[in-house]
Amino acid sequence: MASLFSRSSRALPYFTGATGLAAAGATYYASRRPMLLDSAQNAPKKALSMPTSMLFPKEITVTTVEQVNHDTKRITFSLPGGDSEISGVPFGAAILTAHQPTSGWLPVFRPYTPISDPDERGVLQLLVKQYPNGRASSYLHSLSPGSKLTVRGPIPAYNWAVPMSPRDIVLIAGGAGITPIYSLTKGILSNANDKTRVQLVWGVNSTRDIVLKKELDALEKQYPERLQVTYCVSGPEGKPDAPSLGDEAKYKKGYVDSAVLKEVIAKAKKEGVWGDEKGTKVFICGPPAMQEAIAGKKGLLGGEYGLVKKEIHAF
Ligand SMILES: Cc1cc2nc3c(=O)[nH]c(=O)nc-3n(C[C@H](O)[C@H](O)[C@H](O)COP(=O)(O)OP(=O)(O)OC[C@H]3O[C@@H](n4cnc5c(N)ncnc54)[C@H](O)[C@@H]3O)c2cc1C
């Protein structure tokens, strides 16, 4: 997630002047509130919508916490307005969590991408990997049912436009970078008007890092023509002399390297047009070293495939 850290700090300007803007924002929105028809009045409200909930934070409440593997928890929250609200966080977009550490003056803000759907009533779900001494991730891992969490957002995300004709894209995730990639995939596949086909490649250290497997399997089963997932396992399990990982088409040994990219790009180029309506061909979210090796200035996508900056979206 090269841009994860930079994003974290890039997100901060949204708060600068928040207090000052709050009053103006509230007045503006109150004066612009449209008249609603009866059916629209019954429609669920969005718990989070820009810019209001970026200026005025919301408190969400932990309902369940599930330890999904050695370092990752799935934390489910209820929205402040219960079932009368939906999160409203678009597919692929993140929210900003805030907490006040016991040591230190400044609050800690971090972005997290919900894995729940934008229109799910009353619920917002996060998948959080804990980093050693990670300030926000350790705080989130300390929460239990009943705990409250302050959130702002959503942070504006890639503006996905539903293409008029079938198109092919490549999505690449590294480790915990799967959440925006998974969310975007779900958004694309669940739209009946969207015919985009997705090649999703996910690099992990070990098979125990593969979270959301049940969900990804279900999506692949439901949309066999539109989603193919390839896992690249780089740790000891994925070394050439290690025992087989199973289905060789699905589980590759090593990093997301040139050979893997060649294979998925060939599939993306096979039938229709490679790239979305805006010409973005590859979406990537992973640790800095991975993003640099694949999408950086001297990365594989530019070097071997001649992709230019605007054809790659890094989260
Ligand atoms: C748009 C966006 C969406 C995100 N969505 C999610 C999500 O859904 N789930 C999730 O778990 N995380 C997500 N992240 C990452 C998250 O925002 C934090 O960066 C992460 O949880 C670490 O924060 P921390 O405060 O715990 O660690 P810090 O206190 O900032 O760092 C502690 C230590 O961990 C290391 N570290 C921190 N972050 C990373 C990293 N990403 N890769 C490698 N080492 C790291 C640091 O080098 C440091 O040594 C997202 C980031 C962005 C930009």
User: Are 310 and 171 in the same domain?
Assistant: yes
Q: Which domain holds residue 61?
A: 52-157
Q: Domain holding 186: CATH number?
A: 3.40.50.80
Residue 142 placed within a domain: yes
Residue 33 placed within a domain: no
Amino acid 43: pLDDT = 85
Amino acid 28: pLDDT = 33
**172 and 201 in contact (C-beta within 8 Å)?**
yes
User: Are 177 and 268 in the same domain?
Assistant: yes
* Other Cβ atoms within 10 Å of 23 Cβ, number: 10
Residue 14 placed within a domain: no
Picking from 111, 137, 157, the residue at the C-terminal end of a domain is 157
User: Are 153 and 219 in the same domain?
Assistant: no
Domain count, the chain: 2
Rounded Cα distance between 210 and 58, Å, is: 31
For ligand 1, what atom is nearest to the CA of residue 114?
8
User: Are 235 and 148 in the same domain?
Assistant: no
User: Are 221 and 300 in the same domain?
Assistant: yes
User: What does the buried/exposed string (b/e) look like for 153-162 if buried means 16 or more CB atoms within 10 Å of the residue's CB?
Assistant: bbbebbebee
Q: What is the dihedral of CA 265, 270, 273, 279, to 10 degrees?
A: 10
User: Are 143 and 197 in the same domain?
Assistant: no
User: Are 173 and 76 in the same domain?
Assistant: no
CA 156 to ligand 1 center in whole angstroms: 18
Global confidence as pTM: 0.88
Amino acid 36: pLDDT = 45
User: Are 106 and 208 in the same domain?
Assistant: no
CA 4 to ligand 1 center in whole angstroms: 6
Residue 15 placed within a domain: no
* Other Cβ atoms within 10 Å of 283 Cβ, number: 25
Taking only the tens of pLDDT, the chain with its 315 residues reads: 544 333 333 333 333 333 333 333 333 333 334 444 445 567 899 999 999 999 999 999 999 999 999 999 999 999 999 999 999 999 999 999 999 998 889 999 999 999 999 999 999 999 999 999 999 999 999 999 999 999 999 998 899 999 988 999 999 999 999 999 999 999 999 999 999 999 999 999 999 999 999 999 999 999 999 999 999 999 999 998 999 999 988 999 999 999 999 999 999 998 779 999 999 999 999 999 999 999 999 999 999 899 999 999 999
User: Are 145 and 73 in the same domain?
Assistant: yes
For ligand 1, what atom is nearest to the CA of residue 131?
34
List, as residue ranges, the binding site for FAD.
110-112, 127, 129, 137, 179
CA 27 to ligand 1 center in whole angstroms: 35
User: Are 265 and 132 in the same domain?
Assistant: no
Picking from 157, 190, 213, the residue at the C-terminal end of a domain is 157
pLDDT digits (tens, 9 = 90+) for 126-171: 999 999 999 999 999 999 999 999 999 999 889 999 998 899 999 9
Q: Which residues have any ligand 1 atom within 6 Å of their CB? A: 1, 4, 7-8, 94, 110-113, 126-129, 131, 133-137, 176, 179-180, 287, 315
